[in-house]
Amino acid sequence: MKYLHTMVRVRDLDQSLDFYCNKLGLRETDRYESEAGRFTLVFLSASEDSDVKGQGPELELTYNWDPEDYDGGRNFGHLAYAVDDIYDTCQKLMDAGVTINRPPRCGHMAFVRSPDGISVELLQKDGSLEPAEPWASMENVGAW
């Protein structure tokens, strides 16, 4: 397992980039904008980590284009880890009594929650596996 990033939602992207980059010294390693989803993702890395997206731990800033109040910890998104086999990992978690909140239907991504309610994103290392049952038919459970 490899630690990937922590995501936080931000209200003002320019103000946040000023804080994280100009004041704290993080560097932008990647940016993704989704017209359909109405959001922007900006990945930042510390100076002692890699300048290349995904090569070191990162901070993911998520800016939702539509205004939203972030109460109840909504601004903190999730922890993310790359795993060797997402199906095997999810099966082991289920066998240990962990609820798979967002099953890996696509063979790429799943979400579980810690005992304290922290969302943990699991991502298939090096792409996606072929969709497979029982995962492809599983419904979401709860929130993540």
Please pick, among 58, 60, 68, 121, the residue that the annotation labels catalytic. Answer: 121
On the question of pLDDT at 54 being above 70, the answer is no
On the question of pLDDT at 29 being above 90, the answer is yes
C-alpha 18/C-alpha 68 separation (Å) is 21
On the question of pLDDT at 116 being above 70, the answer is no
On the question of pLDDT at 72 being above 80, the answer is no
Specify the higher pLDDT residue, 38 or 50: 38
Q: Name the pLDDT band for 103 (thresholds 50, 70, 90).
A: very high
Q: Which residues partner with 120 through β-bridges?
A: 79, 112
**Mean pLDDT along residues 62-72:** 85
pLDDT at 130: 96
pLDDT > 70 in the chain, percent? 94
Is residue 139 annotated as a catalytic residue, yes or no?
A: no
Residue 124 structure tokens: 């298939």
Dump pLDDT digits (tens) for 75-96: 777 878 889 999 999 999 999 9
pLDDT > 90 in the chain, percent? 56
| List of domains in the chain | 2-64 (3.10.180.10), 84-137 (no CATH)
On the question of pLDDT at 35 being above 90, the answer is yes
C-alpha 9/C-alpha 77 separation (Å) is 7
Residue 101 structure tokens: 């909140």
pTM of the predicted model over 0.75 = no
